[in-house]
């Protein structure tokens, strides 16, 4: 998520976006630590709630990078709680990123796919 905008540059260019890649990260989620990440992600869920009706459902698949040394379930639960708008209903294992088509496989990377989880929440 740190380089999401830059990683989507080609797609956005095909849709009429800039031909130059903007490497600034001013408007992206903070990655300076777990607490800052959770707070920013909580703001995302809060902003999303403003565009939803009561009872809306939120489904998120989330995993972490092994290098981040974090627990995906803890981070996501905390971010949903941080929003103050969503109630977490369930968390289920979604296996690993190897269960689907993984970009790293096609790029010759020998990394280990992280465990991923499906989170289901409802708007209070």
- Same domain? For 93 and 119 the reply is yes
What's the pLDDT at 25?
A: 63
Over the chain (124 residues), what is each successive 10-residue block's mean pLDDT? 76 90 74 86 95 97 77 94 96 73 56 83 95
In terms of domains, do 25 and 42 share one? no
Residue closest to 89 by CA, chosen among 40, 56, 64, 41: 56
Residue with tokens 């909580």: 42
Please indicate, yes or no, whether residues 48 and 106 belong to a single structural domain of this protein.
Answer: yes
* Contact (Cβ atoms closer than 8 angstroms) between residue 70 and residue 33: no
Q: Which residue has the tokens 């979604």?
A: 94
Q: Are residues 38 and 85 in the same domain?
A: yes
CA distance 7 to 114: 19
Whether 52 and 75 map to the same domain: the answer is yes
Q: What pTM did the predictor assign?
A: 0.71
Neighbours of 38 (CB within 10 A): 22
Give the count of domains, the chain: 2
Report the DSSP beta bridge partners of residue 116. 63
Q: Shortest CA distance to 114 belongs to which of 71, 60, 65, 76?
A: 65
Q: Do 63 and 22 lie in a common domain?
A: no
Domain that holds residue 18: 1-29
The answer on 44 and 15 residing in a single domain is no
User: Do 78 and 46 reside in the same domain of the chain?
Assistant: yes
DSSP element (H, E) containing 96: strand 86-96
pLDDT at 53: 96
């Amino acid at each position: 998520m740190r380089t999401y905008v830059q990683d989507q540059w080609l797609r956005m260019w095909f849709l009429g976006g800039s031909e130059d890649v903007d490497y600034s990260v001013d408007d992206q989620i903070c990655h300076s630590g777990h607490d800052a990440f959770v707070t920013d992600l909580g703001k995302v869920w809060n902003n999303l709630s403003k565009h939803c009706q009561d009872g809306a459902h939120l489904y998120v698949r989330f995993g972490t990078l092994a290098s981040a040394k974090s627990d995906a379930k803890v981070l996501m639960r905390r971010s949903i709680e941080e929003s103050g708008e969503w109630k977490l209903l369930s968390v289920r294992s979604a296996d690993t990123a190897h269960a689907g088509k993984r970009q790293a496989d096609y790029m010759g990377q020998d990394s280990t796919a992280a465990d991923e989880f499906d989170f289901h929440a409802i708007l209070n």
